[in-house]
């Protein structure tokens, strides 16, 4: 399997990798860091390759519209994730990477071109799996896979979902863990395999739910408002607005806010606030060495007992155990 990509009218390859198709669990992983600063291109690429697998984590921004040319020789299954942001939003909260999308595609030998907008910050995560690697990871006998595998066996280009779906916080966490893994050698291979399986399972789970409730489609204007809701919660999670207050701030009714937030982000509003509080609490304890009472107050708890109970429920250990 040969995969490659470059900017149209530029001779330098963004990546050009020949990946052995056969899955080998003990095959060594190789890593590469590539930075390209050559107007209009601005890219920081982290690449991982091994038998049956190629991973690309790319942070990119272009000064003008460009076309990225890609080519696959052989058969590949591609898990694609893209995140973008375009600066401050209307409520003056700095936007995080939103409007995220993902899909799984079977790609036989092909050439494609993609238009990339200028002055937009993108994070792109691509996992290219050989057919052998993909079939090693997933249960193709599942009814969920029936149509996808049928088209794959015919050698026909196909996507798992007709329309790209949103990236959940759990997917983003798996991607971040792959990107920041400090292991090497055999341990890194085991870790990468585990996170890739986890990531694909999250994708398949969401595809399954999407097939069950296709009639409840979120419109673009709903998604914009839900992104705004998330930004507000990220800024105000210590003292968050009520759902009624939040619905008024983003001009979306409460039912659509609750159901849409769960559908779009894969989490209830309450669970999302809890996650923000717990992740900040852990950072304050481990990295900044704050005392427990101070941490509880800083992340929005009025009573130490409530903070300790929530922390233990989320992490399975008490705040003081994290420090030991």
User: H-helix or E-strand containing 87?
Assistant: none
DSSP annotation string for 119-169: T-EEEEEEEEE-HHHHHHHS-TTSGGGHHHHHHHHTT--EESSSS-BPPPH
- Measured in residues, the chain has a length of 324
Spatial distance between the Cα atoms of 117 and 84, rounded to a whole number of angstroms: 10
34 CB burial (10 A radius; 0-12, 13-18, 19+): middle
Residue 210 confidence (pLDDT): 67
Flag residues of the chain having pLDDT under 50. Answer: 88-97, 214-215
Give Cβ neighbours of residue 202 (< 8 Å, ≥ 6 apart). 168, 170, 171, 174
Question: Which backbone phi and psi does 217 adopt, to 5 degrees?
Answer: -90, 135
Spatial distance between the Cα atoms of 52 and 1, rounded to a whole number of angstroms: 8
Residue 90 confidence (pLDDT): 43
Residue 14 confidence (pLDDT): 86
- HSE value, Cβ hemisphere, 13 Å, CA-based, for 17: 23
Spatial distance between the Cα atoms of 148 and 316, rounded to a whole number of angstroms: 38
CATH number for domain 220-323, candidates 1.10.10.60, 1.10.10.1150, 3.65.10.10, 1.20.58.110: 1.10.10.60
Give Cβ neighbours of residue 216 (< 8 Å, ≥ 6 apart). 259, 263
Spatial distance between the Cα atoms of 286 and 156, rounded to a whole number of angstroms: 50
Tokens 């090693």 locate to 136
C-alpha 125 chain-centroid distance: 7
Tokens 């959940």 locate to 168
Residue 93 DSSP class? P
> Helices 254-265 & 243-250, crossing angle to 10 degrees?
90
DSSP annotation string for 113-129: EEEE-TT-EEEEEEEEE
pLDDT tens per residue, range 217-243: 677 788 889 989 999 999 999 999 999
Contact indicator for 51, 20 with CB cutoff of 8 Å: yes
Six token digits for residue 165: 């779906």
Residue 316 DSSP class? S
Spatial distance between the Cα atoms of 12 and 5, rounded to a whole number of angstroms: 9
Can you name the residues that pair with 62 across neighbouring β-strands? 41
CA dihedral 194, 197, 203, 205 (to 10 degrees): -100
Spatial distance between the Cα atoms of 59 and 171, rounded to a whole number of angstroms: 17
Contact indicator for 229, 243 with CB cutoff of 8 Å: no
Residue ranges of alpha helices (H) inside the chain are 131-137, 146-153, 169-180, 185-212, 220-236, 243-250, 254-265, 269-286, 292-298, 304-315, 319-323
Query: What stretch(es) of the chain map to CATH 1.10.10.60?
Result: 220-323
Residue 324 confidence (pLDDT): 62
Residue 236 confidence (pLDDT): 95
Spatial distance between the Cα atoms of 44 and 313, rounded to a whole number of angstroms: 38
């Amino acid at each position: 399997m040969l995969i490659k990509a470059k900017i149209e009218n530029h001779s330098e390859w963004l990546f050009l990798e020949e990946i052995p198709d056969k899955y080998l669990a003990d095959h060594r992983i190789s890593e590469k860091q590539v930075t390209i600063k050559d107007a209009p291109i601005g890219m920081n690429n982290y690449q991982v390759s091994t038998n049956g697998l190629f991973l690309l984590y790319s942070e990119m921004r272009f000064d003008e519209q460009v076309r990225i040319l890609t080519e696959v020789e052989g058969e590949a299954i591609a898990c694609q994730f893209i995140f973008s942001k375009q600066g401050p939003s209307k409520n003056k909260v700095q936007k995080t990477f939103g409007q995220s999308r993902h899909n799984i595609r079977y790609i036989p030998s092909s050439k494609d071109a993609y238009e990339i907008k200028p002055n937009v910050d993108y994070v792109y995560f691509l996992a290219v799996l050989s057919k052998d690697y993909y079939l090693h990871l997933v249960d193709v006998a599942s009814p969920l896979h029936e149509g996808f595998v049928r088209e794959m066996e015919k050698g026909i280009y196909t996507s798992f979902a007709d329309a790209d779906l949103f990236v959940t916080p759990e997917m983003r966490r798996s991607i971040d863990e792959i990107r920041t893994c400090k292991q090497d050698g055999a341990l890194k291979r085991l870790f990468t395999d585990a996170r890739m399986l986890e990531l694909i399972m999250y994708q398949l789970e969401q595809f399954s739910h999407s097939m069950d409730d296709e009639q409840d489609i979120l419109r673009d204007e709903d998604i914009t408002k839900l992104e705004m809701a998330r930004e507000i919660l990220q800024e105000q999670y210590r003292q968050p607005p009520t759902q009624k207050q939040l619905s008024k701030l983003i001009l979306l009714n409460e039912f659509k806010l609750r159901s849409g937030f769960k559908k779009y982000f894969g989490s209830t509003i309450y669970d999302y606030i809890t996650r923000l509080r717990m992740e900040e609490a852990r950072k304050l304890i481990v990295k900044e060495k704050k005392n427990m009472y101070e941490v509880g107050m800083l992340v929005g708890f009025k009573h130490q007992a409530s903070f300790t109970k929530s922390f233990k429920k989320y992490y399975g250990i008490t705040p003081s155990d994290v420090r030991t």
